[in-house]
Amino acid sequence: MIISKGTVTEKLATFSASHRCPLSSKIPWSNFIPNFRICTNNLWLKHWESFFLHFATWYRAIFPTISPLSWFQNLNLSRKSIASFSRLRFGHILLPSYSFKLSLNDSSFCILHNDPMVCDITHLIFICPSLLPRSDHLLSLFNSYNIFFNTKNILSNQQKNIILNILSFFNHTGFLI
Ligand SMILES: [Zn+2]
């Protein structure tokens, strides 16, 4: 899996290297950087849209398109929070469901109780009996913000308070993300 992701990364890097923006001497030099950014973003967007439908389905459900701005723009989040929430969104986390697939864990089951249940993001937020009443508190918060109870919908949220509460919840579980 790691090799596969590396290959995709290499393809993206190769694509960028071979499809650079054509430079134009007509561009006023004070406008060069914004124009270059727009051009690069359009190239990435075009390349992203060219992938087959089932590529990165988890991430596409959270972010259907590539935004010209970073998702954490103007949120004033710490670097650690940005990294942790990004990992949740990518699905590249160390919860047992994922670490088991990478052979880093003996089991994909939740270790907080004896019932065998696969431990992923959805399990911890919506199902895990050992995390009550903290998960109820989180769900009440989603309810007060009119956020639909769906894992991908929750992870696509852009509000600082929601993001910090989700991260705090996962920190409380004791699992690394
Ligand atoms: Zn559990």
Residue 161 lies in a domain: yes
- Averaged over 130-137, what is the pLDDT? 94
CA distance to 2, 26, 39, per residue, from 16 (Å):
21, 23, 11
- Averaged over 47-54, what is the pLDDT? 83
Give the domain extent around 157.
Answer: 79-173
Of residues 177 and 82, more confidently modeled: 82
Residues 65/45, Cβ–Cβ less than 8 Å:
yes
15 and 83 housed in the same domain:
no
37 and 101 housed in the same domain:
no
108 and 156 housed in the same domain:
yes
Look up tokens 């919908």; give the residue: 153
In the reported structure, the alpha carbon of residue 131 is separated from the centroid of ligand 1 by a whole-number distance in angstroms of 7
Residue 34 lies in a domain: yes
Q: What is the pLDDT of residue 21?
A: 60
Residue 61 lies in a domain: no
Residue 43 lies in a domain: yes
Q: Which residues contact 166 (CB under 8 A, 6 or more apart)?
A: 85, 88, 138, 154, 155
Look up tokens 């109870």; give the residue: 149
24 and 96 housed in the same domain:
no
163 and 94 housed in the same domain:
yes
**In the beta sheet, which residues pair with residue 109?**
118
What residues does the ion ligand 1 have nearby, CB within 5 Å? 110, 112, 128
46 and 84 housed in the same domain:
no
Phi, psi of 118 (to 5 degrees): -60, 130
Residue 157 lies in a domain: yes
Residues 43/20, Cβ–Cβ less than 8 Å:
no
Task: Specify the number of domains making up the chain.
Answer: 2
In the reported structure, the alpha carbon of residue 49 is separated from the centroid of ligand 1 by a whole-number distance in angstroms of 36
Entry pTM: 0.74
Residue 3 lies in a domain: no
Is residue 128 helix, strand or coil? coil
